Amino acid sequence: MTDQPLSNSPAEELAKVTKEIYERNVELAISNRTLSLLRKMYEIMSSSLNTSETSQRLADAIVKDLNFQKGMISLVDKSGDNLETIAVSPQEPRDSQLEKLLGKPFKQFSVSLKELENFCVKAFTEKKTRLTNNLYDVFIGAVDEKISLKIQEILHIQTTIIYPITFGKETLGVLSLGIDKHIGSLSRAELESMHELVEVVGIALERVRIYNDLQVANEKLKELDRQKDEFLSVAAHELRAPMTAIKGYLSMVVEGDGGSLTPQTKDFIGETITANERLIRLVNNLLNISRIEKGRLVYRMGDINLSQVAKTVSNEFQVIAQEKKLLLNLVVSDNIKDLVYVDQDRIHEVVANLISNAIKYTDIGKITIHLSNPDEHHIKLEVIDSGHGISPEEQEKLFQKFYRTGSSIGKAMGTGLGLYISKLLVEKFGGKIGFSSEVGKGSNFYFELQLK
């Protein structure tokens, strides 16, 4: 039996404690370093949305702060078949030596995911950290063995660690780090902190990727929107020629250019002309919409008496109102001031639109067009109906392009552009348009314009 000391001598005890304190201090230093690096990485993450820029700055920060020789970020490319090097931390004058050796910048590497012996590929597909003392393991399939060894020599790399960069279940690529010492010389704390850092790299790159995907989707939507505008424009334009011919010939017939007509034939042609005018208006709306939006519509501004416009339009709609047995009234306040500076045809269009909507959505009762001066500088035109009224949900969407109320109950007609265009026009003339409505009680659509 040998003697077992019951306790260490005080000197030994002190040495042990000192050593422990030292180790703790080192750990603390590593934690601090990691923390400050993490903060730097979050800053990089929030300041860039470009894949190669973000990758480059992350690789630089890691290599610089942790005293590595080289850091390289490779990401899986769009095809999903290759790992492509996106960023390599710089290190002069060694980089120039490498460029001479390779005949190209030490950056452009791509390795097929089929190179199963390649450690980057292994780390990527197995989602496991890989370690090697032979740099060729990293370059299999991209650079030949001899050159790989020279690279290793020039860069003073002893060990290379390859981390998979992951986000959730997805692997985005790998981060390879070259160190000038043996792996055993790295402490457990250092190795652990590396995992945290790689995780942040994953988050940062995923964020950039999502952003870029959104950008692409957004561009596609814009392109589709442009194509839609162009299609509408071309379609409307093509429709105009035959519509013009129909309008022209009908007018010639009704004016007697082809001989005299019976009163009934004249009536029939008259109805056809009305229908065709409506068709022309619809097509013009389609064509005008993109022009108003792009500010390319020509306005013929002038001094107009709004009550005169209201009278004309209400007369135009009398027949249609009577067909639905609706009473269409025009009420003009006494001593009304009604001179406004607008485009006559366009304001006519707005009034016609409001009245046409009121007739369309009213089955019983009456429609009143009311003109008044809410104050001495403004005129208000209201179209008050006793129709269905509009539900609060529908009210929200009313002035949207292509929106048609009642489309769910099969009552919709028209292009759904009327109110949208009316709003654009009234606002163009410096006025405001609005409505109040209650289901079952009817609606009041109005606009206000400044008096001349």
Partner 1 sequence: MDDIIPNQVSQKAVILIVEDDTLLIKMYKTKFELDGFTVITAQDGESGLKIASEKTVDFIILDVMLPKISGLDLLEKLRQIPGKENVKVIILSNLNNPADAQKAFNLGAKEYLLKSNLTPSEIVKKIHQYLNV
Interacting residue ranges for partner 1, rule: CB under 8 A: 237, 240-245, 247-249, 251-252, 255, 257, 280, 283-284, 287-288, 291, 296-298
Supply the minimum distance, in Å, between the C-beta of residue 312 and partner 1.
16
Which residue is associated with the tokens 């348009």? Answer: 433
Nearest alpha-carbon partner for 428 in 313, 347, 373: 347
Residue whose CB is less far from partner 1, 105 or 270? 270
CB contact at 8 A, 110 and 84: yes
- Least Cβ distance, residue 416 to partner 1 (angstroms): 21
For partner 1, give the closer residue by CB, 247 or 366. 247
Handedness of CA 66, 37, 212, 168 (dihedral sign): positive
Please give the C-alpha separations between residue 420 and each of 208, 289, 433, in angstroms, as whole numbers. 37, 9, 10
Q: 3-state SS string over the chain?
A: CCCCCCCCCHHHHHHHHHHHHHHHHHHHHHHHHHHHHHHHHHHHHHHCCCHHHHHHHHHHHHHHHCCCCEEEEEEECCCCCEEEEEEECCCCCHHHHHHHHHCCCCCCCEEECCCCCCHHHHHHHHCCCEEECCCHHHHCCCCCHHHHHHHHHHHCCCEEEEEEEEECCEEEEEEEEEECCCHHHCCHHHHHHHHHHHHHHHHHHHHHHHHHHHHHHHHHHHHHHHHHHHHHHHHHHHHHHHHHHHHHHHHHHHCCCCCCCCHHHHHHHHHHHHHHHHHHHHHHHHHHHHHHHCCCCCCCEEEEEHHHHHHHHHHHHHHHHHHCCCEEEEEECCCCCCEEEEEHHHHHHHHHHHHHHHHHCCCCCEEEEEEEEEECCEEEEEEEECCCCCCHHHHHHCCCCCCCCCHHHCCCCCCCCHHHHHHHHHHHCCCEEEEEEECCCEEEEEEEEECC
281: Cβ contacts below 8 Å, ≥ 6 apart: 349
| Cβ 261 to partner 1 shortest distance, Å | 15
Q: How far is the CB of 262 from partner 1 (least distance, A)?
A: 21
Shortest CB 237 distance to partner 1, Å? 5
Cβ proximity to partner 1, 250 vs 339, nearer residue = 250
R_g over Cα of the chain = 39
Q: Which is nearer to partner 1, 151 or 424 (CB)?
A: 424
CB of 347 to partner 1, least distance (A): 16
Tell me how far, at minimum, the Cβ of 414 lies from partner 1, in Å.
18
By beta-carbon proximity to partner 1, the closer residue of 113 and 254 is: 254
The least distance separating partner 1 from the CB of residue 246, rounded to whole angstroms, comes to 10
Closer by beta carbon to partner 1, 255 or else 334: 255
Distance CA 189, CA 28 (A): 9
Both tokens of 159, joined, read 């060990």
Instruction: Give 14 or 252: the residue with its C-beta nearer to partner 1.
Output: 252
Q: How far is the CB of 241 from partner 1 (least distance, A)?
A: 5
Q: Which is nearer to partner 1, 252 or 413 (CB)?
A: 252
Shortest spacing between CB 278 and partner 1, in angstroms: 12
Shortest Å, Cβ 244 to partner 1:
4
C-beta of 248 vs 374, nearer to partner 1: 248
Closer to partner 1 by CB, 216 or 252: give it: 252
Nearer to partner 1, 247 or 452 (CB): 247
Strand 366-375 to 327-332 pairing: parallel
Q: Which is nearer to partner 1, 220 or 237 (CB)?
A: 237
